Amino acid sequence: MSLSNIDIAQAARMIPISEVAARLGIPDESLEPYGRYKAKVALDYLAAIRERPQGKLVLVTAVSPTPAGEGKTTTTVGLGDALTRIGERAMICLREPALGPVFGMKGGAAGGGYAQVVPMEDINLHFTGDFSAIAVATNLLAAMIDNHIHHGNALQIDVRRITWRRVLDISDRALRDVVVGLGGPGNGYPRESGFDIVVASEVMAIFCLATDLRDLRERLGDIVVGYTRDRRPVHARDLGANGAMTAVLRDALAPNLVQTLENTPAFVHGGPFANIAHGCNSYLATSSALHLADYVVTEAGFGADLGAEKFVDILCRTTGLRPAAAVIVATIRAMKFHGGVEVADLATEDVAALERGTVNLARHLETIRGTFGLPAVVAINHRAEDTDAEVHALVAAVERMGAVAVVAKHFAEGGAGAEQLAREVVRLCAEPSDLGFTYPDEASLWEKMQAIARRIYGASDITASTAVRAQIRRLEDEGYGRYPVCVAKTQYSFSTDPKLRGAPSGHAVDVREVRLAAGARFVVMVCGDIMTMPGLPVAPAAMTIDVDEEGRIVGLF
């Protein structure tokens, strides 16, 4: 295929967003248009349809990815289009792309090939301003912390123990570690701090878990920004910041409606990191879509060990969402990668390596079907270089696992290439399912992490330094033991070592650090290096992104 993503996207035959909405039965007065092809759907309308029957929720997850990614977003889009093609009322729900990576490595993040959401440039660049609202809310709170200290520090905040960081939607490594408040008494107290990318902010996680404006306001108030000298937590509420933060986020909280290349309706809303946060689009988008369509397809970041686990143990547990089935995206590439083939050689046929690598898929499948109790199908996201022998070997391997694998060609063919997948998904959704969790609510934080490590990662146990253990105990003493655990670890391995491919077993998972997200209501367990502020590469994508003579965006890929 010689056409780039943006060429395909700009050639799309979009229908007016008011028509997309009308097909869903959304009345015109409940639509806030942003241009002709994007709109927010009013929260009061979505609240009013909450009593309607719900459609079936389909979770798209994946094997442990290669660095290129295995195509969860394209599969979500392609499956949505295929469901529409076979006559079902379908909708998809996706995360909004972060700007930082758009200017850095990745180019766009709105699907690819013939499986995209459009208008692609808008979705990738500014969209409806949600991320900037989240940045403003985060940075307003930061400014109010330093301002409070500057004006006398009535709350006795310990400047050495402020945990709240500022954010930008730019990949900027120079901002990871900074000293603020320099320049003399007029500028406040110097202290060490740093910036994260917007998607890593707790406000983003809260935004995507909030059930309505009131819940949003309450959660924002719960945020712990730091500690006093005698170690009492200081909340956003104590600074009087959560009302203004809610005001800033009010309009953003309404889900964004767009469409796929084939005019399937799509909510693209919110986008928390899948390591330090839960990696799923907003609860409000997904739960609302279930009242608007019979099938709702959504994805969760990274492989099933991270994305699906958090989808189930954080999002479903706390909100009541219940998926009917799951799609596990696998590629021939990824199976060979897990079978030991180096990245440079992945285009070469190697059935033996592929078969070795299916152990990775097998464990993810066991998680989905065993631990979570969900009917599941494996979608082989087809690439031009895949050989018939490889595809047959993978299909056969999945059959041996007692499951079905379907070849999906949505990237090259759009929804038509994923019709078989859609039919299998419809069949699975009719099966009974009873969602299971990795751990019960009442387990301790340590037990929760242990359960994830043993049941999902195949680890023998978890370890932690005395300091981290003490920190975990302190969080339990403070009443945060009831929260779910959000694991931050590498997406490339079941272990914490990104180089351990396949399905490693019996390893120990070391919890290096624990962070409280009191507003998001989970406890982050950091198991490995996590980067909350990316850097730009030697030749950033920003150097090729431009506007041509006709005012068209070019160079987004």
Using CB under 8 A as the binding rule, the residues of this chain from 150 to 179 that contact its own copies are: 150-152, 166, 168-179
Of 182, 430, 467, 470, the one binding its own copies by CB under 8 A? 182
421 binds its own copies (CB under 8 A): no
Helix (H) or strand (E) holding 407: strand 405-408
Of 5, 34, 256, 362, the one binding its own copies by CB under 8 A? 34
Of 153 and 263, nearer to its own copies (C-beta) is 153
Of 35 and 436, nearer to its own copies (C-beta) is 35
Of 43 and 314, nearer to its own copies (C-beta) is 43
Residue 160 tokens read as 């050495």
Of 87 and 185, nearer to its own copies (C-beta) is 185
48 binds its own copies (CB under 8 A): no
Is 71 annotated to bind ligand?
A: yes
Is 109 annotated to bind ligand?
A: no
237 binds its own copies (CB under 8 A): no
Q: Are 38 and 77 in contact (CB under 8 A)?
A: no
Residue 417 tokens read as 């290439």
The residue to which tokens 């712990």 are assigned = 224
Q: At its nearest, how many Å lie between its own copies and the CB of residue 537?
A: 8
Residues 215-234 that bind its own copies (CB under 8 A): 217
**Parallel/antiparallel/unpaired status of strands 256-260 and 265-268:** antiparallel
Of 14, 49, 105, 247, the one binding its own copies by CB under 8 A? 247
Residue closest to 162 by CA, chosen among 137, 189, 193, 184: 193
b/e sequence 190-223, b meaning 16+ C-beta within 10 Å:
ebebebbbbbbbbbbbbbbbbebbeebbbbbbbb
The residue to which tokens 């909004």 are assigned = 96
Sign of the C-alpha dihedral computed for residues 458, 463, 468 and 471 taken in this order: positive
**Side chain identity at residue 4, one-letter code:** S
b/e sequence 237-275, b meaning 16+ C-beta within 10 Å:
bbbebbeebbebbeebbbbbbbbbbbbbbbbbbbbbbbb
Cβ contacts of 69 within 8 Å, gap of 6 or more: none
Of 376 and 541, nearer to its own copies (C-beta) is 541
Of 342 and 548, nearer to its own copies (C-beta) is 548
Stretch that binds its own copies, among 19-27, 240-248, 319-327, 481-489 (CB under 8 A): 240-248
Cβ-in-10-Å burial (0-12, 13-18, 19+) of 498 comes to: middle
Residues 249-268 that bind its own copies (CB under 8 A): 250-252
Stretch that binds its own copies, among 86-94, 180-188, 300-308, 470-478 (CB under 8 A): 180-188
Of 249 and 398, nearer to its own copies (C-beta) is 249
340 binds its own copies (CB under 8 A): no
Show the site string, 296-335: x = touches its own copies by CB under 8 A, - = not: ----------------------------------------
Q: Give CA–CA dist 551/557, Å, rounded.
A: 17
Of 166 and 512, nearer to its own copies (C-beta) is 166
Is 72 annotated to bind ligand?
A: yes
Of 23, 89, 106, 126, the one binding its own copies by CB under 8 A? 126
Of 84 and 139, nearer to its own copies (C-beta) is 139
**Side chain identity at residue 421, one-letter code:** L
Of 15, 86, 105, 125, the one binding its own copies by CB under 8 A? 125
Show the site string, 509-548: x = touches its own copies by CB under 8 A, - = not: --------------------------xx-x-xxxxxxxx-
460 binds its own copies (CB under 8 A): no
Is 448 annotated to bind ligand?
A: no
Stretch that binds its own copies, among 148-156, 314-322, 328-336, 512-520 (CB under 8 A): 148-156
**Side chain identity at residue 296, one-letter code:** V
Show the site string, 60-99: x = touches its own copies by CB under 8 A, - = not: ---------------------------------------x
416 binds its own copies (CB under 8 A): no
Is 440 annotated to bind ligand?
A: no
Secondary structure class of 346 (helix, strand, coil): coil
Is 301 annotated to bind ligand?
A: no
Is 100 annotated to bind ligand?
A: no
Q: Are 51 and 90 in contact (CB under 8 A)?
A: no
Q: At its nearest, how many Å lie between its own copies and the CB of residue 518?
A: 20
Q: At its nearest, how many Å lie between its own copies and the CB of residue 476?
A: 31
Q: Are 141 and 164 in contact (CB under 8 A)?
A: yes
500 binds its own copies (CB under 8 A): no
Q: Give CA–CA dist 105/273, Å, rounded.
A: 16
> For 260, which DSSP code?
E
Rg (CA), the chain: 23
**Parallel/antiparallel/unpaired status of strands 224-228 and 508-511:** unpaired
Of 18 and 387, nearer to its own copies (C-beta) is 18
Residues 189-208 that bind its own copies (CB under 8 A): 192, 194
Helix (H) or strand (E) holding 44: helix 43-48
Of 2, 13, 87, 186, the one binding its own copies by CB under 8 A? 186
Cβ-in-10-Å burial (0-12, 13-18, 19+) of 155 comes to: middle
19 binds its own copies (CB under 8 A): no
- In Å, what is the CA distance from 497 to each residue of 118, 362, 494? 37, 19, 8
- Identify whether 53 is preceded by a cis peptide bond (ω within 30 of 0): no
Q: At its nearest, how many Å lie between its own copies and the CB of residue 399?
A: 46
Of 417 and 519, nearer to its own copies (C-beta) is 519
Cβ contacts of 440 within 8 Å, gap of 6 or more: none
**Side chain identity at residue 454, one-letter code:** R
Is 499 annotated to bind ligand?
A: no
Cβ contacts of 346 within 8 Å, gap of 6 or more: 66, 333, 336, 337
Of 31 and 115, nearer to its own copies (C-beta) is 31
Residue stretches of the annotated binding site for ATP: 66-73
Residue stretches of the annotated binding site: 66-73
